């Protein structure tokens, strides 16, 4: 019996220590990121403006088409699935309520975050990981340039601005997709659908979605940066860390989505 218990306890101990070590590294990264983002500008070290604008173009502008196309189809699918049940009760007009509220509060923020995690979060990890593998990060340190300020802060600021903007695009286009399908295939009156959407939506629905989007932008950026900085070997590890960043980002987005949904449910 002891011969079976000791390896099991050793395995649990090693995994626990590895998790604690990783948590310690993440906490150090978060502390440095927010120090360089919030405190350093007050000390005369502002973020790199041109790099931030460049990151905004890459994470935001270049993602608009993907977000818009997916949003339209998600809205149309949601309207069709809603109608499948609501037509049994002769309440087709309430498709507008379900599409509007579900997209603004839930689907808009979380699907946009998953798209950006796969597109931009992975790019963050790959870029930083490649620089780490080629010792470019060490070169920055030798020149007196802090890698967090140089690499991470522009990405974080760009994400905090563009993620809510992309979520807003998703909300509008997703509701338009539901509107288009409802007024064509489901024979819902266009004016009635529009008025019902306006009546169903509240400011709290929009604020809830945008708060989630902002929080997800921070999660995705820090997760990508963390996995990028953990690269120590060559290209193979860059690939593994890039994949891990996407998986971790999606997991964290869904976990914190549950947290925020529960929070807003009880306090709004």
Tens of pLDDT, residues 167-209: 999 999 999 999 999 999 888 889 999 999 999 998 888 999 9
Position 233 pLDDT exceeds 90: no
Q: Are 147 and 92 in contact (CB under 8 A)?
A: no
Q: How confident is the model at residue 16 (pLDDT cuts 50, 70, 90)?
A: confident
Position 109 pLDDT exceeds 90: yes
Q: What is the mean pLDDT of the chain?
A: 89
Q: What is the pLDDT of residue 238?
A: 87
- Say how far apart CA 124 and CA 129 lie, in whole Å: 8
Taking the model in full, what pTM does it have?
0.90
- Say how far apart CA 246 and CA 31 lie, in whole Å: 22
Q: How confident is the model at residue 6 (pLDDT cuts 50, 70, 90)?
A: low
Residues 6 or more apart from 110 whose CB is under 8 A from it?
212, 216, 253, 254, 257
Structure tokens at 170: 């998703």
Q: What is the pLDDT of residue 2?
A: 55
CA-angle at 137, arms to 217 and 231, nearest 5°: 70
Q: Are 152 and 37 in contact (CB under 8 A)?
A: no
- Say how far apart CA 259 and CA 101 lie, in whole Å: 18
Q: How confident is the model at residue 4 (pLDDT cuts 50, 70, 90)?
A: low
- Say how far apart CA 167 and CA 49 lie, in whole Å: 23
Question: pLDDT tens across 51-94, in order?
Answer: 999 999 999 999 999 999 999 999 999 999 998 888 888 888 89
């Amino acid at each position: 019996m002891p011969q079976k218990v000791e390896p099991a306890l050793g395995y649990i101990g090693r995994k626990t220590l590895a998790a604690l070590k990783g948590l310690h590294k993440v906490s150090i990264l978060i502390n440095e990121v927010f120090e360089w983002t919030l405190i350093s500008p007050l000390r005369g070290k502002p973020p790199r403006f041109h790099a931030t604008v460049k990151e905004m173009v890459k994470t935001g502008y270049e993602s608009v088409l993907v977000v818009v196309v997916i949003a339209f189809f998600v809205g149309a699918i949601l309207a069709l699935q809603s109608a499948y049940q609501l037509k049994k009760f002769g309440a087709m007009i309430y498709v507008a309520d379900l599409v509007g509220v579900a997209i603004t509060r839930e689907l808009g923020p979380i699907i946009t975050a998953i798209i950006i995690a796969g597109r931009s979060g992975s790019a963050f990890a790959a870029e930083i990981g490649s620089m780490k593998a080629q010792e470019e990060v060490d070169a920055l340190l030798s020149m007196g340039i802090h890698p967090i300020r140089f690499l991470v802060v522009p990405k974080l600021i760009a994400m905090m601005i563009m993620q809510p903007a992309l979520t807003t695009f998703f909300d509008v286009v997703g509701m338009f997709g539901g509107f288009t399908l409802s007024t064509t295939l489901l024979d819902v009156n266009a004016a009635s659908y529009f008025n019902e959407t306006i009546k169903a939506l509240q400011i709290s629905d929009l604020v809830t979605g945008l708060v989630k989007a902002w929080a997800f932008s921070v999660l995705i950026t820090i997760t990508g940066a963390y996995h990028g900085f953990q690269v120590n070997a060559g290209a193979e590890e860059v690939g593994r860390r890039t994949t891990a960043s996407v998986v971790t980002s999606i997991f964290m987005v869904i976990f914190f989505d549950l947290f925020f949904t529960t929070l807003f449910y009880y306090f709004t």
